[in-house]
Amino acid sequence: MARVFVGMSGGVDSSVAAALLKDQGHHVVGVYMKNWSQDLPGMRCPWAEDLADAKRVAVGLGIDFQVFDFEKEYREKVVQYMIDEYEAGRTPNPDIMCNQEVKFKLFLEAALEQGAEMIATGHYAKVEREELAQGARLMRAVDSEKDQTYFLYRVTAEALTKTLFPLGEYTKQQVREIAKEKGLFTAHKKESMGVCFVGEVGMREFLNQFVEAFPGDIIDKQTGKALGRHDGALFYTLGQRHGLDIGGGLPYYVVGKDMQANQVFVSTNLNDAAMWPNELSLGSVHWIHNPPQSHENLTVRLRHRGELLPVANLAMGSDTTMLSLDKPERAVASGQSAVIYRGDEVLGGGIVV
């Protein structure tokens, strides 16, 4: 059995992951990653409570426990990335960057330095290990509703060979049942929502603390008429309907932004071409192993829990990859990730330009 360092967030998923690994006979060490501890005006960061919960579970399981402080690196690699992307008018996914830069890089490196043979997390995903040159493949979890492979597509092949996902074969309901059976007090703990590293905080409230946003016009794309005012173009994303405050008549949707002019464009036309792309340009493309062949039967997911959409064609260039869909998809914003699958296997993907 292996010496496994398990990332423990204080939630039910990572608690059960640690418990399952211990049952399998591994020498388990629980690790809380201290990524963010800053309180914001009117928003208290829950890190101390989460740390206490993780430690309490570790004590109950009788496993060693450590704290890895990645706050400086996290602010530089994840938080600043997110802020920069929003300021550029894009819609990033900080959870994906957290997995790439922190959980499956910094955490893995620190764990290996301290004698770990493997790391594990409470993600709903699977790793298939084969006696092949490629080593390990990232696969979708059994629970399609909870599957988190969308957030994991930028993990490297090398990291996968050192990673365990104990929850990949379980549903969320089964995980909660296991937690109850084992007497883990996190069995009934609510899942944290909102910004990945701050807890119950909305993205707008978080960004307001770090960026200077300026009011500007909300413009009807069809008529060119100013319909109202926004409080910062960076807060709006393609397809957004709520929060526009320009009521009356048919609902308006965001169909574009001009960050230089600080303008947000809206339309009542649900068939606006900007809302229904069927060809996407992808940058920062990452393949876990080799790039797929264009003739393969591939699907793409454009948002977490989004439908797996058939890929019509994948044309790879030196800087960008062109992804053609079988049919147009609604409101694909720049900054989102497009994750490519072959059956249940995650091949990689890129960020919509």
**253-267 pLDDT, tens digit each:** 999 999 999 999 999
Per-residue pLDDT tens over the stretch 232-291: 999 999 999 999 989 778 999 999 999 999 999 999 999 999 999 999 999 999 999 999
Amino acid letter, 48? A
Per-residue pLDDT tens over the stretch 294-344: 779 999 999 999 999 999 999 998 889 999 999 999 999 999 999 999 999
Rounded Cα distance, 186 and 14, in Å: 10
Strands 279-287 and 321-325: antiparallel
In this predicted structure, the answer to whether residue 198 has a pLDDT above a threshold of 80 is: no
How large is the average pLDDT for residues 161-170? Answer: 98
Please state the separation of Cα 197 from the chain's center in Å. Answer: 11
- What is the pLDDT at residue 131? 60
How large is the average pLDDT for residues 199-213? Answer: 83
**φ and ψ at residue 37, rounded to 5 degrees:** -135, 5
Q: Which residues are part of the catalytic machinery?
A: 98, 196
In this prediction, residue 27 has a pLDDT band, given cuts at 50, 70 and 90, of: very high
How much is the pTM?
0.95
Q: Give the residue among 335, 217, 332, 339 at the shortest CA–CA distance from 286.
A: 339
In this predicted structure, the answer to whether residue 133 has a pLDDT above a threshold of 80 is: no
CB 331, CB 337: distance < 8 Å: no
Rounded Cα distance, 308 and 300, in Å: 5
- What is the pLDDT at residue 210? 92
Per cent of the chain over pLDDT 90 is 85
Per-residue pLDDT tens over the stretch 45-74: 889 999 999 999 999 999 999 999 999 999
How large is the average pLDDT for residues 194-207? Answer: 70
Task: Return the number of other C-beta atoms located less than 10 Å from residue 302's C-beta.
Answer: 23
| Residues facing residue 35 across a β-bridge | none
Strands 337-342 and 345-352: antiparallel
Q: Residues 6 or more apart from 104 whose CB is under 8 A from it?
A: 119, 152, 155, 156, 159, 163
Task: Return the number of other C-beta atoms located less than 10 Å from residue 126's C-beta.
Answer: 22
- What is the pLDDT at residue 205? 85
In this predicted structure, the answer to whether residue 197 has a pLDDT above a threshold of 60 is: no
CB 127, CB 155: distance < 8 Å: no
In this predicted structure, the answer to whether residue 25 has a pLDDT above a threshold of 90 is: yes
Q: What is the 3-state secondary structure (H, E, C) of the chain?
A: CCEEEEECCCCHHHHHHHHHHHHCCCEEEEEEEECCCCCECCECCCHHHHHHHHHHHHHHHCCEEEEEECHHHHHHHHHHHHHHHHHCCCCCCHHHHHHHHHHHHHHHHHHHHCCCCEEECCCCCEEEECCCCCCEEEECCCCCCCCCHHHHCCCCHHHHCCEECCCCCCCHHHHHHHHHHCCCHHHHCCCCCCCCCCCCCCHHHHHCCCCCCCCEEEEECCCCCEEEEECCHHHCCCCCCCCCCCCCCCCCEEEEEECCCCEEEEECCCCCHHHCCCEEEEEEEEECCCCCCCCCCCEEECCCCCCCEEEEEEEECCCCEEEEECCCCCCCCCCCEEEEEECCEEEEEEEEC
In this predicted structure, the answer to whether residue 193 has a pLDDT above a threshold of 70 is: no
Q: Give the residue among 329, 96, 335 at the shortest CA–CA distance from 236.
A: 335
How large is the average pLDDT for residues 94-123? Answer: 97
